Structure formats: C-alpha cells, structure tokens
Structure 1
Amino acid sequence: MSDTSLPRVVIVGAGPAGIRAAAALVEAGLYPMVIDEGNRVGGQIYRRPPDGFVRTPEQLYGSEAAKARALHALFDRLVADGRLTHCAASSVIAVHEGRLHVLGDGGVQIVSYDRLILATGASDRVAPVPGWQSAGVYSLGAAQIALKAQGVALGRRIVLMGSGPLLTLVGAQLVKAGAEVAAVLDTSPWRQQIRGFWKLAARPLVTLRGLALRVRLGGRYHAGVSLERIEADGQGVTAMCWRDAGGRQRLTPCDTIGMGWHLRAETHLADLAGCAFTYDEQWQQWLPQTDEMGRAGNGVYLAGDGVRLLGADGAEIAGRLAAVACLADLGHRAPATSADLRKLKRLERFAHGLASAFPWPAKMMRALPDDAIICRCENVTAGAVRQSVDFGGGEANRVKSLSRVGMGRCQGRYCQLAAVELAAAQAGCIPSDVGRFRGQAPVRPAPIGAFIRED
C-alpha cells in the first residue's frame, strides 16, 4: 500500500527507461506511480503482445529476447508485490503546476506529483515524399507494431524506405515472418555509412548483428537512392518511383510503403513541464536540456529516447540514473553511478556514429516541389510553407500560424522537421534559427466528453 507520507513520484512511460526508474525508486523504499499508454508495459522496442499470442519472445525480439523477458518479469513482480501503482492505457495530455492531466477510460483525471520522471520515448522521424499522403503509407514503427502486437504484415508487397537501423531491422523482421518485401531503399550512400563506421565500433556486437540483418535482406537492399514519388490510385499505393545510386530510374510495384529516418524524440510533455531546449546539430532536432543524470529542473527528470537517442540499453541506464538523481534530491542515500555514466558515454559514441552514417535527408526536404504535401493532417503543401515565410518571415510558430502546418492531429510530430527545413531554405538561414513549434495541451487528441465531470 502507498504511504501518504512519502513524496509522490510519478513516472510517465513504461518502456525500458520507465521500468528501470520504477525499480530503483522501489528499492529505495518509495512507492511510485507509473502511467503508460500501453495496455502492457515494454514500450515500443519490447512491446508485449496480447495474452494467447503464439509467437515466442525469440521470434518477436530476436537477440534482445532475454532483456525483454527480464524487464517484463521485473515490472510484473513489482506490481504483484504491490510496490507501485500502474496506470495502464492512460495518456498524460497536459502538465501544469505540479499536476498531470491523465486521459483514461474514466475521462480526464488530475494527478499531482512532487517529482516527475518523463520516460516518453521516441517515435518515427519521417520525411515527406510526394504521394506519402496516400492510403497504404505507414511509418516503420507502425509496421513493426503490427508485426509484434498482431502478427501481421501491413500489405502483400511491401517497399521500405528511409535510413537508419530501424529500416534494416523491420525489413529483416518482415522477411523472416514470410512477408514479401520488394525493396528496402536507403537514402544514405555507402560512403556516408562507412564514414560513421568507426564510431559504431563502440558496440561491435550490435554492429555485427546489424550487418547480419543487412545480409538477410540480400538484393532487396539499395543504398544511396533518391526518392522521387509514391504512385497511387483510388485504392491506395501502387508503386514507388526512385533512382538508384547510379541515377537510373526504377519503378517498384507495391501496395504498402513503410518509411522512417531513425527516431524523433517525444518532447511535448517536457516542453509543457517547462524544460529548456537546445538544437542538436548531430540529430538535427530540438532536444531537452538536462545534466548527465537527467535533471531538467523544477523537480522534473528525463530519461530514455525522449532526451537522448541511445536505444533500449541506453534507456535502461538513463532511467536508473534519473531515479538516482531524484532520490538524491529527496535526501535519500543514492547508489554509485560512475559505472552507468561510463556505459552511457560509450553508447553516446555509438549513437553519434549512427547519426553520421544515416543522416536526416535535409537536401531532399529542401528540394520538394511546391505541390508536395508536407502536413498530412491539414493538407498543407510545401508551396504554402514557402509562401508563409515570404509573407511573415522564417520563424517556426509564425509559419505554423500562417500555413496551418503542425496544427493537426499529430501536432507537428510528422511534419515539423520538414517544415523547418523548408522555412530555413526559404529564409536563407539554418534550421536552428527558425526555432521549433511551441508545445500545446492536449498533447494527444482527447474527446470533449472526457473533460466533462459530474462534480
């Protein structure tokens, strides 16, 4: 049972970072609350399928099956022992003055906290391609979720495109599951990938596993491609038009496309919690500022891919460090952290190698034709974004207000980075000068009825 005399520590997110943070707090004698959007914990990387699912952890998680099992078992044990409160299928949609607005089955509830650990993870970083608004175009993460959670491939003939480890991983997972993957198109040329290889040596086993997955793709994999357009009819996607590294035009028939360029940190709640941000040139996106332990100020701590894009292993370490920082600030005796900090530095070197080997396709964004859709939610074109810069200047929120880019259901999660690239090119400046969209509540769509309370 919860001791009301203890400080109220709330963790948002139950992926690797959130689970490790919760375990560290429980071990110190605290009773945290863990709020997560999923029905079952694990996050995206260790997403748990529903009960009765026939595929084994080895089939779902590959070489990471043991880690997934350990994290799932750890959290299940904490819940069974009554050491924490787990709010499943609940989404934090706002943060204000020490209170969280939590959307669940019973509507919106208010949860106060003394300390807040945000382990919100990351989502796919996508880059608009002409025709990407067509039915049958998904993110790589969506394709992976369908495979993990439901055991299905989103299409009969699939083309994957983008760059980064997830592109190779999802392609190999689909092939292994028996799906027909027609092509895996990587916008990063071989020379660029080799340039980042020496930093990838910081994790040699992980690098070798990635190369093995690449081999499994065989002739389906093409590096250094140029993506021209997605062709579609009234029923959805019909083909992908692209050019290979030699400049030869190719047309690959397909009915489904998965796309993604590594990850985009999920930072909306950090923004509403008052965290400071800085533009990260390596990842080419705005990230929250913290110290090495994850402290962001005002009793807020950040962990996992929502602040550092270091993958599942890095998220576990960061979650533990954030909990240790929280304990120290509350006056509790905190365990040593030197070993974890050393591991984190090694993971950061590896992550920088990934960012160098598989860069964000900024030039591709800036060359988009005016009629290309940038914001799928609001049907905003590249031309409209450019015109808004000419009319009101190259500042992110002014561009947003004039063109409506980023005002839709996703709140800029899919379109902001591309819109900023376009605005910077039109204004003759760099993306960091354009700025970022301000976070607004609710950070997720919520029904009006959820806010209506009888009292």
Structure 2
Amino acid sequence: MSDVASPRIVIVGAGPAGIRAAATLVDAGFHPIVIDEGQRAGGQIYRRPPAGFTRTPQQLYGSEAAKARALHSLFDRLVEERRLTHRASSSVIAAHQGMLHVLAEHGVQMIGYDRLILATGASDRIAPVPGWQNAGVYSLGAAQIALKAQGVALGRRIVLMGSGPLLTLVGAQLVKAGADVVAVLDTSPWRQQLRGLWDLAARPAVALRGLVMRARLGGRYHAGVTLERIEANGSGVVVVRWRDAGERQHLTSCDMVGMGWHLRAETHLADLAGCTFAYDEQWRQWLPKADQVGRAGNGVYLAGDGVRLLGADGAEIAGRLAAAACLADLGHPMPSVGAELLKLKRLKRFARGLAIAFPWPEAMARALPGDAIVCRCENVTAGSIRESVERGGGDANRVKSLSRVGMGRCQGRYCQLAAVELVAAKAGCNPGAVGRFRGQAPVRPAPVGAFLQEG
C-alpha cells in the first residue's frame, strides 16, 4: 500500500490491546504509529524488565508467561521488520483537533492522526485511608512494578490492603519472591465475595488460580476488615490499625503499605479527544462510551481497560475489535469478529462477578474523618471537600475549584472517586449526579522547557 494513500493511524499504548490492534492493522497493509510510555512494549500486566535481568518469564508472569512471550515477540518482530513505527518512552500529554502532543526525550512533538486508537489501560483504584499520605505508602501497582522491573520489594515488613484480584496477586508474588508480607487486608467480607461466584464461574480456570494464590497467603489474609489508620514517624509508616470481621482491633507493625481496590480506567486522553462519558454503577466510575467494537466517534476507537475493565485477555480481544472497526470505517474488509464478541460476553460476565465480589468501599470513603487527607497532591482534607459542598453545591468541578481537590500532578487519578463519594454523601445524591472532573492538558506532568522545544 502506498504511503501517500495511507491514512495516519496512531495507537496510544503498547500493552495487550495496543499490540493486537497494531498487528491487525499491519496484517491489512497499514503502517501504524504506536506511542507508549514504556521503553519496551508489554504494558503493565506484561511489563518487561531491563536488559540483563535474570528472572525468567515464568517467574515474572507465572501462568501468563506464554501469553507475555507471544505478545513481546510479535511486537518486536513488527518493529524489526519496520512494519510499524514505535515511539517508545513517549507520553501523549494532549489531544486536540486531530493532533497529539507527545512528550519525549527531546521535547514536545506534534503528531497528526486520521484515526486514533486509545489503548491507555488502567491504574490502581485508590480509596483514602487516614495516614495514607505518609512516606512508605504505595499503590499495589507500584509494588508490582518494583518487583517486575527491578526484582525488589519496597519494604522489609509489608502490609497490603484493599480488595480485588490484584491484592491477592501482588501478595502472592511478593511472598513467592521471599518478601516478608505480614498481612493482606481485604475490605470485602466473605459473604460479599460469595455473591460474585456465579459470574466468576464464567472463567473457572482463572477463578481457581485466584483461589490457589489466596491459599498460598495462608493466615496473612483477612477478609471483611475495617481499616482505621496508617501511623507513621519521621522515617515513614510504622503501624496499621485495623479491625477484623469480628471487630477485634489489631496493630500491625510495618515499614511499607501497598493499597488498591481493583482498577480505574485511564480516561484523560479519551476526554481530550472528545469522547462522551457515562457513569457506570457497576464500577462506580465514569467511563467513556463506545460501541461493542470500540467506536467512540470522530475517528477515535477505544480498546482495553481504558474503556472496559476486562483484564489482559479482554484487552487483546478489544484491540483486535477496535482495529477491525477502524478498517471497516476506512472502507476495507472487516475481519470476522463473531468469535471475539462471544468471548467478550463471557469476560464481561466474569468482570461483573469481580465487581460484585470485591466492591469499591463507598461507605468507607463517605465516612472519612474531617482531618483525613483525600488529595495527597494538594493536601486537601475530607472536611475541606464537605465545606466546599456547603458553599458551592454538589457539582464535582465546582468543588474542585473551591477546594483544589484533583488539581495536583495526578489530576484526580487517585482522589477523584473518593472525593465524588464525599460530595454525593454531603449533597444527598448519587455520584453519577455529581459529575466528573474535566480533563485538562497536559495529562501528565511536563517540564516547561519541553514546550520551548516543541516542534
């Protein structure tokens, strides 16, 4: 196919969704540009360590090692054959009128597109716990990255807290690596977890692997806990105060805390690209709207956890579907997608089971004491957010402007969901009625000097 005749197709993200989208387009004769923040393709779930790292794929990815190797080798081969352009270590910080602003080593570059596939993935969904702003508190994803990329644990005595499959996975990975994990604290009670079993049975092998990992945690694992406070001294965290399902209080000494309640979709670029959003009651977050094959309108396609929280297998399928939709819209024969849509249906059922079994702790977020920090970037407390509702009403962006919640470097990625719960509780409405923080560029922190080199 002639380069002159080819539309400019850009894929943001080189995880499972982005890789499969790129391969589908290449097979149809196109030469996409793939932009990714990582130095090597793979995404978070299949993150690759630096060259010379001695741990094997089996040690890094466990039962998913074969899938990881297949995706890595596929992408590397396409790059070596020059069938796609890979812009590694590059971050898309803005999207406007068919142009992407891409921050790379030598400044900000402009890349135009005719079709845009966003495969931006997801990050940890965090619920504030009093004291979480102290040194030594990390997300579960950060703990996993340190283990995969550098082979290190972030503490000598570790407490993990939250809910969802990532809590069990990171705990099991750290234990297997020899780290001292003293407690894994799950806010979901056993009875709640059992309610999700019917839908989790849609993927029995995956559910069984989760139970095996849970068993390996042994007495470290506690379900139905109430998290009270993370205490610290001048050097960082020292104790986690919590109550078990029987309301007995515990003080667990530690020097590192990892926390996370499943995932939140990374949607900032979808917002800037003009996608519409809807509040998802199942996941208690705002998600961009797309049809079943990923069309979001205006030449934008969505794939992976950035639109549907279905995990790595779902991301691969969604990447192929988004690319197929893109091809069809360009007037090319659309690959058969019937089998993929059937698989997606089963994955959606499994995801529903996860959402039921390991829910977002809305009651915990709404009951935060007034002095608890909600926004770590701007040091905004729960009390300040409630006061802003009293002064300005129950609109998310009005509260943001009055309190500065969500105005820091993470742009609400960690605080928005809890802040919206606080606003909804104070205003007496559903979080969907509160709205969401408007996306702002740059979506990642960028040095001022980078814009001076813009080209």
Q: Report the TM-score, using the length of structure 1 for normalisation.
A: 0.99
Q: Distance in 1 between matches of 2:219 and 2:317?
A: 37
1:200 aligns with 2:200: yes
SS of 1:355's equivalent in the other structure is helix
After superposition, what is the alpha-carbon deviation per residue over 1:65-117, rounded to whole angstroms, capped at 9, x for unaligned? 00000000000000011100000000000000000000001100000000000
Deviations 1:258-285 (A, max 9, x none): 0000000000000000000000000000
Measured after TM superposition, the shift of residue 2 of structure 1 is 7.8
Distance 1:235 1:453 in 2: 40
Once the 2 structures are TM-superposed, how far is the Cα of residue 294 of structure 1 from its aligned partner?
0.1
Q: For each residue in 1:166-204, what CA deviation from the matched residue of structure 2 results, as whole angstroms up to 9, or x when unmatched?
A: 000000000000000000000000000000011000000
AA at the equivalent of 1:197: L
CA 1:2/1:265 → structure 2, altered by over 3 Å: closer, same or farther? farther
Alignment match, 1:66: 66
Find out whether 1:365 has 2:385 as its counterpart: no
Between the aligned residues of both structures, percent identity stands at 80
Q: Which residue of 2 aligns with 1:388?
A: 388
| 8 Å Cα contact 2:184-2:221 kept in structure 1 | yes
Q: How far did 1:453 drift? A: 3.0
Distance 1:170 1:183 in 2: 12
The equivalent residue for 1:403 is 403
Distance verdict in 2 for CA 1:454–1:418, change over 3 Å: closer
Letter aligned with residue 416 of structure 1: Q
Unaligned ranges ≥5, structure 1 = none
Q: Which SS does the other structure have where 2:279 is aligned?
A: strand
C-alpha distance in 2 between matches for 1:294 and 1:155: 40
- Mapped to 1, the partners of 2:195 and 2:28 lie a distance apart of 44
* 8 Å CA contact 1:134, 1:237 repeated in 2: yes
Task: Please state whether the residue corresponding to 1:154 is helix, strand or coil.
Answer: coil
Distance 1:70 1:363 in 2: 42
**What amino acid maps onto 2:159 in structure 1?**
V
Deviation at 1:4, TM superposition (A): 3.1
The alpha-carbon deviation at position 454 of structure 1 amounts to 8.0
Q: Deviations over 1:404-445 (max 9, x none)?
A: 000001000000000000000001111001000000000000
Residue aligned with 2:360, SS = coil
Q: CA deviation at 1:257?
A: 0.1
RMSD: 0.9
Structure 1 distance, partners of 2:237, 2:298, is 48
Residue identity matched to 1:384? S
1:262 aligns with 2:226: no
Output the amino acid matched with 2:137: V
Question: Residue 183 of structure 1 corresponds to which residue in structure 2?
Answer: 183
The CA deviation at 1:335 is 1.1
- In structure 2, the residue matched to 1:33 is 33
Q: Structure 2: how far apart are the matches of 1:340 and 1:26?
A: 19
- Which residue identity lines up with residue 203 of structure 1 in the other structure? R
- Check the 8 A contact 2:375/2:381 in 1, yes or no: yes
Separation in structure 1 between the aligned mates of residue 188 and residue 123 of structure 2, nearest angstrom: 20
Question: What one-letter code is carried by the residue in structure 1 that aligns with 2:62?
Answer: G
State whether residues 2 and 31 of structure 1, in contact with CA within 8 Å, keep that contact through their aligned partners in structure 2: no
Measure how far apart 1:333 and its partner are.
Answer: 1.0
Q: CA deviation at 1:5?
A: 2.1
Aligned length: 455
* 2:345 corresponding residue in structure 1: 345
Paired letter, 1:102: V
Match of 2:323 in 1: 323
SS at match of 2:240: strand
Distance 1:53 1:328 in 2: 42
Letter in 2 for 1:4: V
* In structure 2, C-alpha distance between the alignment counterparts of 1:34 and 1:327, rounded to whole Å: 17
- Output one character per residue of 1:391-412: Cα deviation in whole Å (capped at 9) or x when no partner: 0001000000000000001000
Residue equivalent to 2:124: 124
Instruction: Give the secondary structure class of the aligned counterpart of 1:48.
Output: coil
Matches within 5 A, 1:32-431: 32-431=32-431
Tell me if the contact between 1:230 and 1:237 (Cα under 8 Å) persists in the aligned partners. Answer: yes
Secondary structure at the aligned position of 2:315 is classed as helix
